[in-house]
A and B are shown apart, each in its own frame.
Chain A
């Protein structure tokens, strides 16, 4: 993984000093709340329902075991013993004290981490494929490009005060595991007819109040042109994005109002005008970055299948929580943070410390965060899988539900967030209780449930196969259900099935929807998403709102 050099270390030390001084001025009354807000936001600090919330950047979701131990230390020492992994591969702490945040940032800096630009109207943490470097379908590892973008976007002098937040995702495989089409910019590594690598560039995707799928503005951008082209996109946005209405300020609104063709024309025109003076990217720098992400020293291990006598728990875990690896003899292991009784994405300090140890022992000392709020040990030799499983079980980190209904994405909701209408964590619990039969979950197959506590869509509900959105009706929590959304492959936004349902009925509503699927699926092969696409929402809607059930 990337390691800091003198430039990075010096920068981060100076940045922590700057924020320490800004915090001091605020606490001394020298800065008003309005003046301090943009400064603290660009250091990851929100003021939430109970206390400040600190969002720490995990660049493209990659952590060393040493960094994970530091995250555990911060949870223990400055917070209440846990952290929440977010849909943007970051971690959030819900209970830090404002006066201690500069110390937290200094601790993070000691392990080459920070909270810079994890909030505020600026370029946010760049996200990527959690299987980068280990999936067989990959054209090229996207992480060197992510690191190039991370550095370029860090305190970019021109793009630090954008109309609104700005999110970039990069993928290097045809299967999109980074929800790149619902980002402000999605970059896909592709090859042209001559075999040269470049980027397909999508702009204007996003969720929130106005969900949109990104528009392709470049089919092929030569790789070394990346920063010059990003600069052109950002400059057009910085100049013309709306600043009069926060709900119309994302780049997707500009793309929509100009039309994709005109927007593309403006970007290409800016690119032509600025290319000569734009940030240059040298091949040597790209090669320097690539070297940081060279494959680890894999052992020569044969491929094996688990023996039938391995025990039902191990077999279920192996089947559902591990995936193919491009190197013979290895598997990718998912660590489910969706255990019944726990808030999705939450992890305790003790679990973090223990997992850091397991990463050192079984996966070259690295851990990844997925955008659906699980963790990954990406490089586990198959002959060590039983030992790893045995170690994960007592930690509560072996719930064999990856890809199933209960592996849901969930925002912090009312319990923590000042924007939320709905307690998404309580709904997650209700769903876990309704669907506690693993055989039924496995029979249902892959289903992505995504839940947001409000229109801002941190839980990506628009692209859930089943989306759940909390809405406020006269002070009560109600839930709107959408079906058929998808963040990868044939990207689609879900369709609302009808009036929102009462809080007590969310899980039973899901149960009715799934009854329809089980009754109407074609063979055992048709997935829930395929069935929704074939049937449309009508049959589901009929069952959910049938008169005999509506009164329940």
Chain B
């Protein structure tokens, strides 16, 4: 079973992604969720890609329990903006997970943007990634993260 770094704990994932068989709750593709937004059951999950406009989730954001932002490749920054909009403008409070090309060197800034769960690249060392959450004790910007809380000026 897939291991997820969630709230600083390495835990087994209870969710299935859209293309996965098996038991347990299944996260759905973005288009499916947006189409069903008006009647979406509470506790739903969604997987979004880099081009999705997360503001389309506004009508159903309160009924989502999981948003997985998938990073197709190292260095694609779009997911960082998606997270900021979800946390700051749509006030999404539940699990926000980064999946795909996620390495320890991305973790700190992802957490600053509001990600609180990481489905790491299979080659990455989860303990080393966890340690990176403590990389910086200070920062220059306000941000939406709760997993890391660097000290700000003033």
Contacts and interface: CB of A to CB of B under 8 A. Distances in A.
Most chain B CB atoms below 10 A, which of A160, A162, A279:
A160
A274 B88 contact: yes
A277 B81 contact: no
Interface in A168-226: none
A158 B111 CA distance: 10
A274 B77 CA distance: 18
Given A279-B141, A279-B142, A285-B154, A160 B77 contact: yes
A229 to B, nearest CB: 15
A121 B151 CA distance: 26
Interface stretch (B17-25, B28-36, B59-67, B130-138): B130-138
A238 B89 contact: no
- Decide if the interface of chain B is mainly helix, strand, loop or mixed: loop
A277 B85 CA distance: 10
By secondary structure, the A interface counts as: helix
Contacts of A154: 140
Given A7-B151, A277-B88, A161 B139 contact: no
A273 B90 CA distance: 10
Q: Which of B81, B135, B137, B139 gathers most chain A CB within 10 Å?
A: B81
B151 A157 contact: no
A504 B58 CA distance: 65
Interface string A154-167: 11111111110000
Contacts of B93: none
A163 B77 CA distance: 8
A161 to B, nearest CB: 3
B97 interface: no
Interface string B110-141: 00110000000000000000000001111111
A35 B103 CA distance: 9
Most buried by A among B135, B137, B141: B141
Given A162-B77, A238-B81, A274-B89, A155 B105 contact: no
Nearest to A11: B138
Interface string B62-87: 00000000000011111011001100
A157 B105 contact: no
B143 interface: yes
Interface string B42-69: 0000000000000000000000000000
Nearest to B135: A18
Contacts of B153: 5, 7
A107 to B, nearest CB: 21
A76 interface: no
Contact of A11 (B85, B136, B154): B136
Interface string A225-249: 0000000000100110001000000
Given A157-B143, A162-B77, 10 more contacts: A11-B138, A14-B136, A152-B141, A156-B141, A157-B80, A157-B113, A235-B85, A274-B85, A274-B89, A285-B154
27 contacts: A7-B138, A7-B151, A7-B152, A10-B137, A11-B140, A14-B135, A15-B136, A22-B105, A34-B74, A121-B75, A155-B109, A155-B139, A156-B140, A156-B141, A157-B80, A157-B84, A157-B112, A157-B139, A157-B145, A158-B80, A159-B77, A161-B80, A235-B84, A235-B85, A274-B88, A277-B88, A282-B154
Interface of B: 74-78, 80-81, 84-85, 88-89, 103, 105, 109, 112-113, 135-145, 151-154
Interface of A: 5, 7, 10-11, 14-15, 18, 22, 34-35, 38-39, 121, 151-152, 154-163, 235, 238-239, 243, 273-274, 277, 279-280, 282, 284-285
